[in-house]
A and B are shown apart, each in its own frame.
Chain A
């Protein structure tokens, strides 16, 4: 069974440029998460989707970040414009559901460097 797929794996951009990350979850997983991980820290949730619906986006900086999950499968996270402080690893994860016992599986992540 294929795991969570993310692209690109690495991205280097200049500040104020836009950037987009793509995620394909494990087949059959209804819940999709985008996390931000800074060096030396644990992942922090940006947004969670239940099928197509964003059910928890309280930590998403909505002035510059946006996300979508069309047809309840693939998802895209966008930053426009990027700032120096956005340099981090962006992780996508998926789970069968959002229950307390549902395990989240992570993709390889996208390492973003903003110059």
Chain B
């Protein structure tokens, strides 16, 4: 089992819809979770971080964490074509250990 797993997609959603991106991780002691957005040919850009169980909202983005199920998700409300990118889930098990990335999910928002 890979440490961080994401569906590679592509996930296609119509403009204005909610995009739901999912990520599972294998190490139960993982403590921090990050979502990065990466446009084609560009570097990863931090979207959100989450550390505690529950939801965290920032504008159109909501991160959800369920440590018991080892599951973290990112919801994008009112999806726009400019949201079309690859979304990387990253997990940090504990301090002084590498941030582990999933392969990313490619999102396509259709106008």
Which residues from chain A sit less than 8 Å from chain B, CB to CB? Answer: 40-45, 48, 55-56, 91, 98-101, 103-109
Which residues from chain B sit less than 8 Å from chain A, CB to CB? Answer: 4, 8, 31-32, 34, 36, 42-46, 49, 51, 88, 90, 92-96, 98-99, 101-104
B43 touches A107 (CB 8 A): yes
A43 touches B101 (CB 8 A): yes
A42 touches B32 (CB 8 A): no
B32 touches A101 (CB 8 A): yes
B8 touches A45 (CB 8 A): no
23 sample A-B contacts, Cβ–Cβ < 8 Å, listed by A number? A41-B103, A42-B88, A42-B102, A42-B103, A42-B104, A56-B98, A91-B43, A91-B44, A99-B95, A100-B31, A100-B32, A100-B92, A100-B94, A101-B31, A101-B32, A101-B51, A101-B92, A104-B34, A104-B46, A105-B46, A106-B43, A109-B42, A109-B43
Complex: A42 Cα to B88 Cα, angstroms = 7
A42 touches B42 (CB 8 A): no
